[in-house]
Amino acid sequence: MSTIEVKKITKKYGEFLAVKDASLSVKAGEVVCLLGPSGCGKTTTLRMIAGLERATEGDVIIAGKRMNDLPPEKRDIAMVFQFYALYPALNVGQNIAMPLHFEKLSKEESDKRVNKVARILHLTEVLDRMPGQVSEGEKQRIAVARAIVRDPNCFLFDEPLSRLDVELRHSMRGQIKEVLSNLSKATVIVTHDQLEALTMADRIAIMRDGMIEQVGTPHEVFAKPANVFVASFIGTPQMNLMEADLKSFSKGVASVSLAGSPVEMAADPAVSSLRPSKVMIGIRPRAFTAESSAGKSTIRAQAELIEPMGAETLIHARTKSGGDIRVVVPRTQRIKVGEVLHLKADPKQTHFFGENGRAVRA
Ligand code: ATP
């Protein structure tokens, strides 16, 4: 069974902890993206799974077997790197067939497998061309074809699309996802591009400073971020994160002082566990509506900068307490610079974070 299990792995370079106690399990047929800012330990985690780095502590289990002491070639995995190299003296078909070299297959069987993956990745037409005669997108697909031609235990991808331009990346995301979804293998993809993770992953593991902060479906990490870091990292434009004073909580309604306005907002019952205190409230720019007049649940802010984004408009506004707030409204809702907005947040999309930065929800 193609599965990957990472149990409390740690990687130390001298005294520096690059990965701390990371645990993750990937089922057969599941695509998990490791996502996080530069230097957070994504590649090191992937390299420990591959056997290119030795875990200082913890276990790497692939297809049910502990792999810590096995070199990469004994782990039966296929990797696609950011800087994949094609052999320039071999044609596309021969490049794809390279990993089969060691399997001692008949020429007929080898050709059959190459033709099959070429069909899957739409490369049949270019099999006889040399690497210098194919496009960047085709080169990327050749690298993927080379990985899947061998039927390995699992797949590991390290920033597989980062060399491609935006448009090509967009179409390749869908193509790779489609190919992987038909292969029933455990797959781990490293990326720093949240759009890539949100579109390709069944689940996303978000890393920061060597630690996994949250693992969840794209919907979960977006709609229920576990902490302030995940909330601020996922979603564009970024979630508004505002310090607030929680005054009281009664019958499902929290009374807060937020952005200079006294606001009453429906809140998760778990908010009752917070004593009157400083909290962080997170509201995504699309979770506001601009009301025509002030009310008990509105925040007052003045529009300062208007950024048209096509079907929507991004407004940067200044709150009474002097902070910035980002609001996205439909293009048809005309708002002018200087206009005073009365912003009402959707309670279902309002996140409370306690003093430790962790989300408070039932
Ligand atoms: P990026 O998105 O920039 O590739 P990453 O999340 O993949 O970043 P890693 O490459 O895993 O990050 O690196 C994690 C941390 O470990 C970084 O601070 C990096 O400088 C450090 N590091 C990586 N390899 C080594 C090494 N061989 N020796 C010492 N430190 C290392």
Compute the distance from residue 177 Cα to the ligand 1 centre, in Å: 26
- What's the pLDDT at 185? 92
Q: List the one residue out of 337, 344, 360 whose CA is nearest residue 258.
A: 344
Distance CA 226, CA 24 (A): 16
- What's the pLDDT at 103? 80
Q: List the one residue out of 236, 320, 225 whose CA is nearest residue 280.
A: 225
Q: What is the DSSP string of 12-68?
A: EETTEEEEEEEEEEE-TT-EEEEE-STTSSHHHHHHHHHTSS--SEEEEEETTEE-T
Please write down the HEC assignment for all residues of 230-284.
Answer: HHHHCCCCCCEEEEEEEEEEECCEEEEEECCEEEEEECCHHHHHCCCCEEEEEEC
Distance CA 38, CA 87 (A): 30
- Bridge partner list, 245: 257, 278
Could you tell me if the CB of 81 is within 6 A of ligand 1? Answer: no
Angle value at C-alpha 95, between 3 and 167, nearest 5 degrees: 75
Give backbone dihedrals phi and psi of 318, rounded to 5 degrees, phi first.
Answer: -105, 125
- Taking each helix axis from N to C terminus, what angle separates 166-181 and 136-148, rounded to the nearest 10 degrees? 20
- What's the pLDDT at 274? 81
Q: Report the residue among 43, 158, 206 best suited for mutation to probe ligand 1: largest number of ligand atoms under 8 A from its CB.
A: 43
Query: Going by C-beta distance under 8 Å and a sequence separation of 6 or more, which residues neighbour residue 105?
Result: 113
Kindly report the protein residue whose alpha carbon is nearest to atom 25 of ligand 1. Answer: 13
Kindly report the protein residue whose alpha carbon is nearest to atom 4 of ligand 1. Answer: 38
Could you tell me if the CB of 192 is within 6 A of ligand 1? Answer: yes
Domain ranges across the chain: 4-233, 240-353
Compute the distance from residue 38 Cα to the ligand 1 centre, in Å: 8
- What's the pLDDT at 157? 92
Q: How many CB atoms lie within 10 A of CB 27?
A: 15
Q: Report the residue among 44, 52, 163 best suited for mutation to probe ligand 1: largest number of ligand atoms under 8 A from its CB.
A: 44
Q: List the one residue out of 31, 55, 28 whose CA is nearest residue 41.
A: 55
CA torsion, points 1, 100, 90, 143, in degrees to nearest 10? 0
Could you tell me if the CB of 12 is within 6 A of ligand 1? Answer: no
Q: Mapping DSSP to helix (H, G, I), strand (E, B) and coil, where does residue 115 land?
A: helix
Kindly report the protein residue whose alpha carbon is nearest to atom 1 of ligand 1. Answer: 38
Query: Going by C-beta distance under 8 Å and a sequence separation of 6 or more, which residues neighbour residue 39?
Result: none
Compute the distance from residue 41 Cα to the ligand 1 centre, in Å: 6
Compute the distance from residue 321 Cα to the ligand 1 centre, in Å: 40
Range list of H helices, 38-151: 42-50, 92-97, 107-120, 136-148
Distance CA 41, CA 11 (A): 9
- What's the pLDDT at 73? 87
| Ligand 1 atom, smallest distance to 192 CA | 2
- What's the pLDDT at 62? 96
CATH number of 4-233: 3.40.50.300
| Ligand 1 atom, smallest distance to 11 CA | 16
Q: Report the residue among 17, 33, 42, 233 best suited for mutation to probe ligand 1: largest number of ligand atoms under 8 A from its CB.
A: 42
- What's the pLDDT at 24? 97
Compute the distance from residue 30 Cα to the ligand 1 centre, in Å: 25
Could you tell me if the CB of 87 is within 6 A of ligand 1? Answer: no
The answer to whether 206 and 36 are in contact (CB under 8 A) is yes
Compute the distance from residue 19 Cα to the ligand 1 centre, in Å: 9
CATH topology of domain 240-353: OB fold (Dihydrolipoamide Acetyltransferase, E2P) (2.40.50)
Residue-wise pLDDT tens for the chain (362 aa)?
789 999 999 999 999 999 999 999 999 999 999 999 999 999 999 999 999 999 999 999 999 999 999 999 899 898 888 777 889 999 999 999 998 887 888 889 999 999 988 988 889 999 999 999 998 888 888 988 898 898 888 999 998 777 777 777 787 788 888 888 888 899 999 998 999 999 999 999 999 999 999 999 999 999 999 999 999 999 999 999 999 999 988 888 999 998 888 999 988 888 888 877 889 999 999 999 998 899 999 999 999 999 999 999 999 999 988 899 999 999 999 899 999 999 999 998 999 999 889 999 87
